[in-house]
A and B are shown apart, each in its own frame.
Chain A
Amino acid sequence: MDLNFTREEIAFRDEVRQFFKDNVPPATRQKLQEGRHLSKDEMVTWWRILNKKGWGVSHWPKEYGGTGWTSVQHFIFNEELQMAPAPQPLAFGVSMVGPVIYTFGNEEQKKKYLPRIATVEDWWCQGFSEPGSGSDLASLKTKAERKGDKWIVNGQKTWTTLAQHADMIFCLCRTDPTAKKQSGISFILIDMKSKGITVRPIQTIDGGHEVNEVFFDDVEVPLENLVGEENKGWDYAKFLLGNERTGIARVGVSKERIRRIKELAGKIESGGKPVLQGQKFREKLAAVEIELKALELTQLRVVADEGKHGKGKPNPASSVLKIKGSEIQQATTELLMEVIGPFAAPYDEHGDEGSNESMDWTAQIAPSYFNNRKVSIYGGSNEIQRNIITKAVLGL
């Protein structure tokens, strides 16, 4: 047992760290540090820098542009990326639909879509959740019916993250209404410019616009846009959701936020001395740091396990990563709120537009706190994670 990185791993970490230091555009870095939203241009610009370096789709198989890194290297890369901080690759393309296409798609689909995911010529979004299908995803109703050489898609998706920027959406659609819940679903790729698609923004409690409703009204989709077999979409969805188990802890994001808490709490005064010198505050912060350290090691245990035994059998500890990771992210935004105190109040109505002329950075602290309530809800709510733990660990 040795919890230290090897000399090679440390060299790799230094290389990655230096690259981020030299190449993340300063305005992008600053916006992320301040918890502000990035414009589409800012994100795409960074992803293309990353892709040019060969790190855009790092965990893909080498033949499709991946790096062939070990699981520990992937861990280091992600953590350094989050701490830089720099935008993470667009999960919907890189971590979700990409692996589904190279695992279950045909050669034409691989050739057509994979390169465009890497270069972000296609911005992908995810069409899974529906108004009536949240945690009970398999109850989804959006349907795709065969008509000649086309699918006709009707229905509604929701919580579609950044659909306002998207070129493509991958959807779970019901293709056999007579089959039982999970078995009549197919995985279909749809062009967002198709006639009959309407995107309507949802404003979240932080005032931001990340998520949308997407309506499908007799949308025509070529038959060849079906991935894998008809009515097997649920299997692909499960594969997809299981693929990014370890990144969800977002340890690097929390580390970076703790640094920021210390920086701000060292400047902002309470009772004539920095907030950071208050014993009660220090202990609250230390408690979060301890949980984060434990989480980082739990994550490394899962990563090491994956490296040894492959991703086939999910380690039940991965659900710990989601639960604790989200709790810690929320705790850090809560501490930032505490640091800033009464100055959390001013609301910047234009803060979400990606402009560089928005109000003082302080205006983003409360929205970031509000926004982070989502992390224990998305990606399989923490309650769903507890169901998973119960089944896997206790065999109940």
Chain B
Amino acid sequence: MDFDLTEEQRLLKESVDGLLENSYDFDSRKKYAKENGGWSKTVWSKLAEQGLLGLPFSEEDGGFGAGAVETMIVMEALGRALVLEPYLATVVLCGGFLRRGGSAAQKAAHIPGIIDGSKTFAFAQLEKNSRYDLADVATTAKKKGDGWIIDGEKFVVLNGETADTFIVTARTKGGQRDRNGVGVFLVPANAKGVSKKGYPTQDGLHAADVTFTGVEVGADAAIGDPENALPLIEQVVDDARIALCAEAVGAMDESLKTTGEYIKTRKQFGVPIGSFQVLQHRAADMFVALEQARSMAMFATMASDFDKADERANAVAAAKVQIGKSGKFVGQQAIQLHGGIGMTMEAKIGHYFKRLTMIENTFGDADYHLARVSDGPGLV
């Protein structure tokens, strides 16, 4: 039993915190948001220079062979700074497919570009009717010769606007919601038949709706078993949920800090409003919610390497429930305690609230995961 970071992990934390402290204050963020695709290539290069984009990849693939704890450290820091760059989409999600399911050739072709920051990726999964069900895939991949033809529509594809390559879920056989028959395919963004409509999301990130019309890819486009990739998808999406839990903890932690500072300085009736017990207790409840969330984010991080997929899924679902509940409470109360100023675009606090809100609706909300936990073996 040990909750401490190793010396190397501590150094990693210092370096990522330091980098973001210097390059990611709220004003810089506003500038980055106006760049092409809504994020900064310069910041992305700095993340690459410090090795952050190569963390989870094995050393033989050119990475650092780091584990889930390192990703947690990075994601928490990204959450604190409200980072816009596509770390989740590129490194956690698509990097996850490549390192967990990719062939040697696929790894060699794509991982170096992620690590050096020259390429970004996007995971095209959500469909009009799939909601949070990863097995619900109407997009099809039909065999043609050795390769595949992909047809379908994907929505809210994070980083879909600027990604060089998509990783697309598509059905190779079976009915729309069958667990069997789902594949994962690499599709270049500039392939013939790919069209997209990009837009900013509520939290300042960018996404796209992407249509695949008769897109032809080779046999080497399929990651893992094209007829049975759902276990891989579930594992990688769990990686993403774990990362989102850590990001949310960073955002909550910073929200509470900012709120604490605000109520200590904002005066009404001649005194700081933080002297009012009703506000103090609300802040204390935010702390309780944050600490419970922090514990569950750690639990989920540890679960990422569980041998049994169902145990991992159960733990991650439980964590996502806690993060959802805590995130909503901390986010909403941070706005409430700020009062009117919390309602403005100008104040940073509202942006934390918006990011927390979008995290709740990504890869399953609290209700969705609560239902999963309630059908599982329990946690006691």
Contacts and interface: CB of A to CB of B under 8 A. Distances in A.
Interface of A: 1-6, 9, 72, 255, 258-259, 262, 279, 282-283, 285-287, 289-295, 297-298, 300-301, 304-305, 308, 316-317, 319-320, 323-324, 383, 385-387, 389-390, 393-396
Interface string B368-380: 0011011100111
B291 A298 contact: yes
Contacts of A305: 3
A297 B298 contact: yes
A389 B284 contact: yes
Interface string B273-288: 0110100110111011
Given A1-B3, A394-B260, A292 B296 contact: no
A393 B287 contact: yes
Interface residues of B, number: 41
A283 B277 CA distance: 34
Contacts of B274: 394, 396
A279 B372 CA distance: 11
Nearest to A83: B380
B292 interface: yes
Contacts of A292: 379-380
A262 B280 CA distance: 38
A290 B373 contact: yes
A293 B378 CA distance: 10
A389 B299 CA distance: 24
A324 B292 contact: yes
B5 interface: yes
B380 A304 contact: no
A291 B298 contact: no
Interface in B324-379: 370-371, 373-375, 378-379
B4 to A, nearest CB: 7
Given A283-B370, A283-B374, A390-B281, A320 B5 contact: no
B371 A283 contact: yes
Contacts of B299: 3, 293-294, 297
A289 B1 contact: no
Contact of A6 (B1, B293, B298, B373): B1
Interface in B1-58: 1-5, 9
A271 B365 CA distance: 30
Nearest to A285: B374
A304 B3 contact: yes
B292 A291 contact: yes
Nearest to B6: A1
Contact of B284 (A9, A298, A301, A390): A390
A294 B370 contact: no
A281 to B, nearest CB: 9
Interface of A is mostly: helix
A286 B373 contact: yes
Interface in B56-98: 69
Contact of B5 (A1, A282, A386, A394): A1
Contacts of B301: 1
Contacts of B379: 289-290, 292-293
A1 B4 contact: yes
Question: Top 5 closest A-B pairs, CB basis?
Answer: A297-B295, A386-B284, A286-B374, A282-B374, A389-B284
Given A294-B322, A317-B291, A383-B281, A3 B374 contact: no
B63 to A, nearest CB: 20
A286 B378 CA distance: 7
Contacts of B232: none
B4 A290 contact: no
B321 interface: yes
A319 B283 CA distance: 13
B149 interface: no
A389 B277 CA distance: 12
Nearest to B69: A1
B266 interface: no
B192 interface: no
Contacts of B293: 294
B302 interface: yes
Contacts of A389: 283-284, 287-288
B318 interface: yes
A5 B293 CA distance: 21
16 contacts: A1-B4, A2-B302, A3-B298, A293-B380, A294-B295, A294-B296, A297-B295, A301-B3, A305-B3, A308-B4, A386-B280, A386-B284, A389-B287, A390-B281, A390-B284, A394-B264
